[in-house]
Amino acid sequence: MPESRPPLKILAPQESIPMIARELSRRRFLGFAALAGGTAVLAACSPGGSGSPAPQATGGELESSLSIYTWGDYDSPDVVSAFTSELGPTVTLDSYSSNEELIAKLVAAQGTSGFDIVVPTGVFVPQMIENGLLTKFNKDLLPNLANMDPAYLGRAWDPSNDYSVCKAWGTTGFVYDKTVITRELATWADFFDAAQNEASGKTSMSDDPAGIIGAYFWANDMDWNTEDPAELDACRAFLVDEIAPHISAFDSYPGTNAIPQGTQVLMQAWNGDARLGLMETSEPERWQWVLPGPITELWMDNWAIAEGAPNPEAAHAFINFSMTPENLALNLDYIGYNVGGKDMEQAAVDAGIPLTDLIFFTPSQLDTMKEQELNDSQTVRVEIWNEMKAAAGA
């Protein structure tokens, strides 16, 4: 890479998002009027806002800029800077911490968000398509789809990959400080027990309702997609009344600061973020990663293009650029997640990429991972998330 790189613009996550994010049903996020400054706006999206059609990608000249709204620190700077060096558009990255935040922003903007590429988790894709938040790919501009492992294509939420394609997939576990918690932790029940004991006041959980509510059901070996009101009430009582007083932070990215700086003792974490923290800490032997039993989650984030994207040519070009074998490998190494390319595990081992056991999983481990389903309990789940955060003072 040249020593003088084109500018990479990083926008800090917003301190606040529209109130819709707190009350949003992931399944029914457009069935009502969103409130903006006390005034109701249209409940259905009108891409472009004024009714004018959004530009579509045809393979023409690339625009001069590209805006990506994605999860924090989720793209190799080498890939981003190489894209600008080789193809021209300057890239701006903005980040969110949950799918709720992403969807709230797109709903509120009604096709005028200014974002080109977004990275929703797979189970959200059908509703985003149905409600006009995503634009269909011109797959003629994505020849590097051929480099993707068929196992990660054709998922149930978008069987023909017309609107989305795997960006990365992973799971959720936790990391703990072995100098404080001297017993072995192996399950989600162990996580909650330690949170109430050795790690009380020094425990963080993800700032994401799926992982927080999911952990209760995983700990109890229950279907985490349940709609049973009694089971959800029991979850609420446990998390809000028993666990929240022991939680010191809701942090989706403990690998960035909490692990390297040792500010927490017990941290719920996505596998790639945990890997980042273990690589960044000066005391790797202090920390233990756990893929907890008996159940945990499997999620897949996806490249997609926002409806009304102002730079559709550059958006297609960036997604295609990210799917070259070289750039898939760079992103895998940087973010620590399986990015869905063909034949990557052995290549990663051969290349000496560290901690590949936090990137690739065995068949028996995969058997414990269950995908989220969207259903009518989502509003209740977001309510539990907000009540737990309020009870913890976060």
In the chain the domains, ranked by start, together with CATH numbers, are 9-169+299-358 (3.40.190.10), 171-298+363-392 (3.40.190.10)
> Which one has a higher pLDDT value, 83 or 43?
83
Tokens of 97: 């911490």
Q: Are strands 266-270 and 203-205 parallel, antiparallel or unpaired?
A: parallel
Q: What is the rounded average pLDDT of the residues 348-377? A: 93
Confidence grade of residue 48 (pLDDT, cut at 50, 70, 90): very low
Say which range, 258-267, 291-300, 314-323, 385-394, has the weakest mean pLDDT: 385-394
Say which range, 78-87, 100-109, 135-144, has the weakest mean pLDDT: 100-109
Confidence grade of residue 208 (pLDDT, cut at 50, 70, 90): confident
Per-residue model confidence (pLDDT) at position 18: 32
CA distance 327 to 302: 16
Q: What is the rounded average pLDDT of the residues 227-233? A: 98
Q: How wide is the angle at C-alpha 23 spanned by C-alphas 22 and 26, nearest 5°?
A: 100
Q: Are 229 and 289 in contact (CB under 8 A)?
A: no
Per-residue model confidence (pLDDT) at position 72: 86
Give the list of residues 6+ apart from residue 293 with CB closer than 8 angstroms, or none: 186, 187, 188, 368
CA distance 384 to 365: 29
Q: What is the pLDDT of residues 272-289, one digit of tens each?
A: 999 999 999 999 999 999
Per-residue model confidence (pLDDT) at position 40: 26
> Which one has a higher pLDDT value, 56 or 141?
141
Per-residue model confidence (pLDDT) at position 33: 25
Q: What is the pLDDT of residues 353-366, one digit of tens each?
A: 999 999 999 999 99
Say which range, 19-28, 96-105, 206-215, has the weakest mean pLDDT: 19-28
Q: Are strands 296-306 and 117-118 parallel, antiparallel or unpaired?
A: antiparallel
Confidence grade of residue 374 (pLDDT, cut at 50, 70, 90): confident
Per-residue model confidence (pLDDT) at position 389: 95
Q: What is the rounded average pLDDT of the residues 46-75? A: 80
Confidence grade of residue 394 (pLDDT, cut at 50, 70, 90): low
- Is residue 4 predicted with pLDDT exceeding 90? no
Per-residue model confidence (pLDDT) at position 180: 98
